[in-house]
Amino acid sequence: MKVAALQMVSTPDVAENLEVAWQLLQQARDTGAELAALPEYFCAMGRRDTDKLGYREAFGTGPIQDFLARAARELDLWIVGGTLPLEAGDDQHVRNTTLVFSPGGECVARYDKIHLFRYDNGRERYDEAQVIAAGQTPVRLDITDRSGEHWRLGLSICYDLRFPELYRAHAQRGCDLLLVPSAFTHTTGQAHWEVLLRARAIENQAYVLAPAQGGLHPNGRQTWGHSMAVDPWGQVLAVRETGAGLALAQLDRQHIAHVRSQLPALQHRIL
């Protein structure tokens, strides 16, 4: 199955971002991709964290969800809808949510980000819990590609990447493709992004697909980019360093089986 990690440099303008996302999704379709994954906050990177409250949607309805459903249906793609803000039950918070849509335009999975980013180095400060309500439940789903192959996907978002127990739980339940839509800061991404992605692939002997925000945004934030596909041996298959674009990779189920048979680390777990 051919997959695409879509990199964006999202602005505060939702309509503008959806237009860019549509163009990237079309490019992914035209290259033969069957699954395309958008980055965290693909729909908007606001000037303030609280801007998310202004374009949050109720689950199941809203222009951003309608866009994802239409794109999946018209482009005949599995779409991992990066993240968008969904209502969280109060006026001060949203859920940071990944939605997965089938080629028929049906929403088949929802994952609310579990781990909330907080960072303060004296120059940069982030505290997602001020606006985001954390999810509690890991989410996995099964899809079938055009050749009839079955794939189990494990969902995660950005800061989740630092918590290997989530990915080990995915692997224990048979996941062979791990999704990590992200908006890593330039500081943390430069230090840790690639090594964490490769580690999650190696230790779980699974493919990792990580679409990211990558560039300087109108709000002044600089994201690291380097959207990436990594194979179960930890080899980087594709990377988009900066700017809007695609990282494309071909997934091979036989390669997963080969890696897991020659080094059966998942069977050797003790704890």
Task: Transcribe the chain into DSSP letters.
Answer: -EEEEEEB---S-HHHHHHHHHHHHHHHHHTT-SEEEPPTTTT---SSGGGGGGS-B-TT-SHHHHHHHHHHHHHT-EEE---EEEE-SSSS-EEEEEEEE-TTS-EEEEEE--S--EEE-SS-EEEGGGTB-------EEEEE-TTS-EEEEEE--GGGGG-HHHHHHHHHTT--EEE--B--BHHHHHHHHHHHHHHHHHHHT-EEEE-BB-SB-TTS-BB---EEEE-TTS-EEEEE-SSSEEEEEE--HHHHHHHHHHS-GGGG---
Catalytic residue among 43, 128, 158, 175: 158
**Residue 40 designated active-site:** yes
Choose the catalytic residue: 40, 43, 52, 128: 40
Q: Is 2 one of the catalytic residues?
A: no
Which of 34, 113, 128, 175 is flagged as catalytic?
Answer: 113
Q: Which residues are catalytic?
A: 40, 113, 158
